[in-house]
Amino acid sequence: MRPLNHRPGRRARCLAILLALAAGLLPAAAGAQADPLAPTGRWSANTRGSAPVPPMGWNSWNAFYSDIDEEKVMASATILVDSGLAARGYRYVNIDDGWWLRRRQPDGRMVIRTDKFPSAATGPDDQTSFRPLTDRLHAMGLRAGIYSDIGRNSCGQVYTPNLANQPEGTIAEREVGLHGHVDQDIQLYFAEWGFDLIKVDGCGIRGLSAETDHVRSGNYRAFPPLIDMNALGRTDIAAVQALYEDVGHALHRHNPDGDYLFSVCLWGSSNVRAWGKNIGNISRTSDDITPQWTRMLTNLDTVSTRALYAGPDAWNDPDMLFVGSGDFDADHMTGARSHFALWAILNAPLIIGFDLRKATPEQIALFGNPGLVALNQDPAGHQAVPAYQSGDLQIFVKTLADGDKGVAIFNRGLAPVDAQLSARHLKFRDDDEVILTDLWTGDRQTFTGEVPFRLEPRETRVFRASGQRVLPDGLYVSEQPGDVNPAEDGVRTPQHDPAIHRGVIGWQGTRGSGEHPQYGGFGGAQADRSPFGEPLRIAGVRFDTGIGVLANSRLEVRNRGFARFSARVGIDDSAGTRDRPVTFFLYGDGRLLARSQPQRFGAAPQAMTADITGVSMVEMVVRADGEPGGPLPVVWGDAALVR
Ligand code: GLA
């Protein structure tokens, strides 16, 4: 197993490059390319596939687990259309685990379970096809999604073998995952069967070490695990990434029109936060959601501080909706509304996981709430940013394409909470009127300064807000996370995130020693906060607005016609390392536009401005001198693009 992706220090890299140059191994220009902080002038997050706004639709898993069939899938598809939800944007109908019967030998062609999907029995000799089903969905104006695994075996086989519809046959026939068949399967699913989306799970590269019962009993071949959910140090990040990249290339090859969607399902493991956005259109940030309130909180927490890591064509995915079941069922509509509103404002894919045959008119109305759907589908693609955070109450604010804000005030807990929403949370002036439109009731109200709300347990108030912007002629960088890509976020050793809610997991109970911090993705680039969640401060000067990031980072920012960049920069007061000066650089389309003086810990914020007229890609780079030590948080205070 390769070690964790410790990047060589700058000195080691320089030495390696010099040696390679001396040996004639590299052209001279390659030295610059090897520097990950060198400006490129281009956007390096994913632009392949098609997901300009978060995908919306339905998936079979939360509704039926693997006990699926054609009737169930088509019933939900029909209700999507008949209820008007499809017209609101719910277009994907995704078949999850349970569709496959076996991998035919020796040619490896996948065979569909025709006892469950009769229309797939299209010819002799196991020549099954989903084309009749995808044709029907397409004729209804819908899109079709399918499911696979990056390993040889599926999640059902590895973790839920008691559930229905497991693959059958010999060991080789039961190897239904993509491993060793990427090109063949992607060609079949997209070019031949006509699917529009694939969700690629990762259980086959996780749970089949030689010591497992599955392997010892001869049930499956061993696959030396590449992922250890509890230990990033035992996860081969580069190898996992390479496997998913391979699928990305195959999708690109077999969908010449580019109209497809790649759903990466690695549950936040493998430091996928850093690279999933460069490959997939949506990328899971957490393990599976369950219909329990506290589990929803866990999944919410894995996504809520990652706004800068998502945007058009590469969204964070905190897993599918569980509205309709358990703590989110028809008797718990306060909880259901919160779950839905939070997913909407955080730009999560809105994928219904409910048997729509059982949906009440109130539930259909919730899925179709025009104001909330519009919030989620806003074309600017900026995920909401936490404006206020506590264990009890959160306020999320999302910048919309027309300059309005979406705002959700969310009571996580079991007691009523008194909350004050202030104009400053919205980055609106507090001496001018703010207009709020309640997205549940349509009611309008105005306030100046701040406005009180009393929230019942588990309640979310959600509004569209308009007012006078603090920055009238531009946008703070932290207000436009969909146009920011942390190409290098300065994280050298990915860490588990201790700030994520850790509930009792249903399938595990309280056996063992408890839920440990698990998901990779602590530290890194944050909107309006330091990488580890503290307030932004330089030499005691507090910045409510700005970008917190680690030194040795490079952020790509799309410039949508702004003329000037400005910020006040320095080392964050939370830094543990005090002896390394840092320098801030600003590039426009690859050219250096401005650089700061070397900044030391405790030095006052330094102003930085640059003319960015006509520039399409701004890059914000911070370099630290000296040997890499501990994490070194820095601040781009009040960083803004203005006209
Ligand atoms: C994993 C995924 C789920 C679902 C199941 C299917 O657990 O995270 O979303 O696809 O596999 O077995």
The Å distance, Cα 148 to ligand 1 centre, comes to: 10
User: How far does the centroid of ligand 1 lie from the alpha carbon of residue 506, in Å?
Assistant: 15
pLDDT digits (tens, 9 = 90+) for 190-232: 999 999 999 999 999 999 999 999 999 999 999 999 999 988 8
Q: Cβ(309)–Cβ(279) under 8 Å?
A: no
Least confident of 1-15, 220-234, 601-615: 1-15
The residue-averaged pLDDT of 518-545 equals 95
CA distance 548 to 536: 7
The answer on pLDDT for 22 being more than 70 is no
Q: What is the pLDDT of residue 507?
A: 78
Q: Is 140 exposed, middle or buried (0-12, 13-18, 19+ CB in 10 A)?
A: middle
**Atom nearest to 147 CA in ligand 1:** 10
What is residue 137's DSSP assignment?
A: H
pLDDT tens-digit readout, 133-188: 999 999 999 999 999 999 999 999 999 999 999 999 999 999 999 999 999 999 99
Query: Is the pLDDT at 31 greater than 80, yes or no?
Result: no
| Interval between CA 74 and ligand 1 midpoint (Å) | 21
How far does residue 138's CA lie from ligand 1's centre (Å)? 25
* Whether the predicted pLDDT of 93 surpasses 60: yes
Q: Give the integer Cα–Cα distance in Å for 596 and 625.
A: 14
Which residue from 155, 159, 206 has its CB within 8 A of the most atoms of ligand 1, so it is best to mutate? 155
Counting from 1 in the atom list of ligand 1, the atom nearest the Cα of 199 is: 10
pLDDT band per the 50, 70, 90 thresholds, residue 30: very low
User: How far apart are alpha carbons 11 and 569 in whole angstroms?
Assistant: 25
Closest Cα to atom 11, ligand 1: which residue?
Answer: 155
pLDDT of residue 33: 55
Atom 9, ligand 1: which residue's CA is nearest?
288
State the maximum Cα–Cα separation within the chain, in Å, rounded to a whole number: 76
- Look at residue 8 and tell me whether its pLDDT is greater than 60: no
**CA angle, corner 45, sides to 39 and 46, nearest 5?**
145
Ligand 1 centre distance from Cα of residue 133 (Å): 22
Give the ligand 1 atom nearest the CA of 265. Answer: 8
Q: Is 478 helix (H, G, I), strand (E, B) or coil?
A: helix
Residue nearest to atom 5 of ligand 1 (CA): 155
Length of the chain: 643
Q: What share of the chain is helix, strand, coil (3-state, %, to 5)?
A: 25, 25, 50
The residues with which 591 forms a beta bridge, in sequence order, are: 588
Take residue 42 and report the two structure tokens written for it.
Answer: 């281009």
The least confident of 53-67, 116-130, 185-199, 245-259 is: 116-130
Q: Give 37 Cα–ligand 1 centroid separation in angstroms.
A: 36
- How many angstroms is it from 472 CA to the middle of ligand 1? 45
Residue nearest to atom 6 of ligand 1 (CA): 97
- In the reported structure, the alpha carbon of residue 201 is separated from the centroid of ligand 1 by a whole-number distance in angstroms of 7
Whose Cα sits closest to atom 1 in ligand 1?
155
Q: Whose CA is nearest to atom 3 of ligand 1?
A: 288
Q: Where does ligand 1 bind, in terms of residues with CB under 6 Å?
A: 61, 96-97, 155-156, 201, 265, 267, 288
pLDDT band at 24 (very low <50, low <70, confident <90, very high): very low
Nearest CA to ligand 1 atom 8: 288
CA of 20 to the centre of ligand 1 (A): 45
CA 477 vs CA 267, 303, 527, 622, 637: distances in Å: 28, 19, 8, 16, 10
pLDDT of amino acid 32:
46
Q: Which atom of ligand 1 is nearest to the CA of 288?
A: 8
* The predicted structure's pLDDT at residue 516: 86
107: exposed, middle or buried (Cβ count in 10 Å: 0-12, 13-18, 19+): exposed
**Alpha carbons 612 and 592: distance in angstroms, whole number:** 11
| Overall average pLDDT of the 237-257 stretch | 98
- Per-residue DSSP letter, 188: I
The band of 4, judged by pLDDT with boundaries at 50, 70 and 90, is very low
Check pLDDT > 60 for residue 392.
yes
Cα 126 to ligand 1 centre (Å): 26
Best residue for ligand 1 mutational test, from 203, 264, 270, 283 (most atoms within 8 Å of Cβ):
203
Q: 290 CA to middle of ligand 1, Å?
A: 11
* Closest-lying ligand 1 atom to the alpha carbon of residue 284: 8
Mean per-residue pLDDT of the chain: 94
